[in-house]
Structure 1
Amino acid sequence: TVLNSLLSGAFAGAVAKTAVAPLDRTKIIFQGKTHLYKQHTQTNPYELLCLCGGQEAYRLIYRTYLKEGFLSLWRGNSATMVRVIPYAAIQFCAHEQYKRILGGYYGFQGKVLPPVQRLLAGSLAGTTAAMITYPLDMVRARMAVTPKEMYSNIMHVFVRISREEGLKTLYRGFTPTILGVIPYAGLSFFTYESLKKLHAEKTGRAQPYSYERLGFGACAGLIGQSASYPLDVVRRRMQTAGVTGHTYSTIGGTMREIVSEEGVIRGLYKGLSMNWVKGPIAVGISFMTFDLTQILLRKV
């Protein structure tokens, strides 16, 4: 039912995001601060690799822990939950509904959709969720890259942005978000559904084990996030422009400035290797939790 899908999606999103919140905050800091660790650019290639990779990311996590305390690693997670719970609920529920609608329209009601319709259902689900919850994503990004003295809570961020920068700022970076969500959500749902279909055909089991669902979801997250990552960086730069001293206004202009100042790899793919750790874990947990919660609720 719709209610079951909403509840399962909300729970799945909350569990997954809380599990990877420290890595998520670190990724946003990497993406948002253009001159972070600039001193490394004069050193050897290994340190340049670390700048974009996991080693420097974990150093940043450790420094944040020493400076601000253990719970600071989850700073902005309350805003994340406010966004992720409705986002995941809407996305998973919308995906189920789009599958039903497309299945009925193309004559596949109750069956696994063909590849194109599978991809379309995922893209539409992600787009629907992003359109509704985008202002909360902007708030989360601001809280993650600013000192805690600047914004005291979620409402404070909304009030200050609205008063100082205008309401339209809450949708800054919305276009690259949608352009990123279309391949990300489409490929994620497509990959997960396709792997489950292949698994059922090979094993004869309609329901994969929990660890298999986790693995399928991890593969889905890896593929989806790698494809959409440059647009994710552009989105973060546009969202955090008001507090980082830059004036990013268009997708093309932002991308050109990033490439000009930092290069393609170090700019548009900054933090990607860390995302290869965080992303698959989060998406795997999310898909697995959604499926298992759905099964549980059907039995209640």
Structure 2
Amino acid sequence: MTTQAIEEFEYEALPDNASLSASLLAGAFAGIAEHAVMYPVDSIKTRMQILQPTPQAVYSGVLNAFSKISTTEGAKTLWRGVNSVILGAGPAHALYFGTYEYAKHAFGGNESGHHPIAAAAAGACATIASDALMNPFDVIKQRMQVHGSVYTSVMDCFLKVNKAEGYRAFYISYPTTLTMTIPFQSIQFATYEYLRKVLNPSGAYDPMTHITAGGIAGAVAAAATTPLDVAKTLLQTRGEATDVRIRNCNGLVDAFKLIYQRQGLAGFGKGLQPRVLSHMPSTAICWGVYEYGKWFLSRDNADQQPINLP
């Protein structure tokens, strides 16, 4: 097969005879890469969103937080809980991208032209499925990120939280997570698909297009959903608080009320800077790795079958 034939092969949707495992595998690698690379910034974001921080964990910005944590607790503290993300991100993102590809095709998103509604709907379906799997891992991650965390490992955190608060603790934030991630992913996917087609109308594999579109899409979605992320952090770390009102906070409405009472409207923007700083490169990495995986797997598949070009 000629190089031209391979380049003209439509990689954006995997071939009809490609197994679902191709999309799942590409998604798993993308998810692990996305979360692991920017994990320290995510740790800072969690610390800055805590409603009742200890005096030692009050930060004026990302650089101040990085410097303070590194000098007083050690740089490796910024990586506490990363194992939880790695364990959960692989299967969760495999499910995420597998669902996305299936739903996007079903909704007509692979047809020529712009289909932001189809992309947004597919993103919503993907996040409902993946968050159901990822939520407990995310709770463990944030419990290990807070200042003064006493957990020695992912399993130690799981066992202690489950014993003290019950299995419900791992899903108390799930409705809030969905309330945040469905608009996040809908905004991200719609923005990404739009920018991808504007920047690269031919649809050929182009790493810079996927990285640029992914980074912008991640930044826009992260900024728009920060208030919901603040509420999610409160719910997922409530068991570590000594404040009775925080410990008894039970859902998104309660979280919003408490945040507003304690910090006003400014409280809903806590962690905005590190959230955007982490999501912009991590989403760019995620889409770059995922699109490369699709291209590579589709390219191999294309080599094994004849393609009739006009």
TM-score bracket for this pair, using the shorter chain length: 0.7 to 0.9
Aligned residue type for 2:40: P
Give the whole-Å Cα distance in 1 for the aligned partners of 2:114 and 2:213: 18
Cα root mean square deviation, aligned: 2.1
State the TM-score, normalized to the length of structure 1: 0.86
Cα deviation per residue 1:263-299 (whole Å; 9 max; x = unaligned)? Answer: 212x111010222221111111101110012111223
Is the contact made by 1:30 and 1:36 (CA closer than 8 Å) also made in structure 2? no
After TM superposition, list the pairs within 5 Å mapping 1:78-227 onto structure 2. Answer: 78-103=83-108, 110-111=111-112, 114-148=115-149, 150-201=150-201, 205-207=202-204, 209-227=206-224
- Residue matched to 1:57: 62
Aligned length: 278
> Of 52, 68, 89, which aligns to 1:34?
52
- Residue matched to 2:82: 77
- Residue matched to 1:2: 20
Shift of 1:111: 4.0
Give the whole-Å Cα distance in 2 for the aligned partners of 1:37 and 1:209: 48
Is the contact made by 2:114 and 2:197 (CA closer than 8 Å) also made in structure 1? no
Is the contact made by 1:146 and 1:243 (CA closer than 8 Å) also made in structure 2? no
Describe the shift of the 1:39–1:233 C-alpha distance in structure 2 as closer, same or farther (beyond 3 A): closer
Give the whole-Å Cα distance in 2 for the aligned partners of 1:112 and 1:249: 44
Shift of 1:78: 0.7
Shift of 1:112: 5.3
Shift of 1:27: 0.4
Aligned residue type for 2:36: T
Identity, % of aligned positions: 24
Describe the shift of the 1:36–1:271 C-alpha distance in structure 2 as closer, same or farther (beyond 3 A): farther
Q: Which ranges of structure 1 fall in alignment gaps of 5 or more residues?
A: 41-49
Q: Which ranges of structure 2 fall in alignment gaps of 5 or more residues?
A: 1-18, 301-310
Aligned residue type for 1:75: R
- Residue matched to 2:295: 295
Give the whole-Å Cα distance in 1 for the aligned partners of 2:113 and 2:135: 30
Is the contact made by 2:51 and 2:259 (CA closer than 8 Å) also made in structure 1? no
Cα deviation per residue 1:126-162 (whole Å; 9 max; x = unaligned)? Answer: 11111222111111111111535x2111111111111
Describe the shift of the 1:299–1:209 C-alpha distance in structure 2 as closer, same or farther (beyond 3 A): closer
- Residue matched to 1:67: 72
Give the whole-Å Cα distance in 1 for the aligned partners of 2:98 and 2:254: 35
Cα deviation per residue 1:216-258 (whole Å; 9 max; x = unaligned)? Answer: 0011101211221111110110110010222211211211111
Give the whole-Å Cα distance in 2 for the aligned partners of 1:283 and 1:147: 29
After TM superposition, list the pairs within 5 Å mapping 1:257-296 onto structure 2. Answer: 257-265=258-266, 267-296=267-296
Aligned residue type for 1:67: T
Which structure has greater helix proportion?
Answer: 1
Describe the shift of the 1:284–1:129 C-alpha distance in structure 2 as closer, same or farther (beyond 3 A): same
Give the whole-Å Cα distance in 2 for the aligned partners of 1:15 and 1:109: 26
Give the whole-Å Cα distance in 1 for the aligned partners of 2:20 and 2:186: 21
State the TM-score, normalized to the length of structure 2: 0.84
User: 2:30 aligned with 1:17, yes or no?
Assistant: no
Is the contact made by 1:32 and 1:244 (CA closer than 8 Å) also made in structure 2? no
Larger Rg: 2
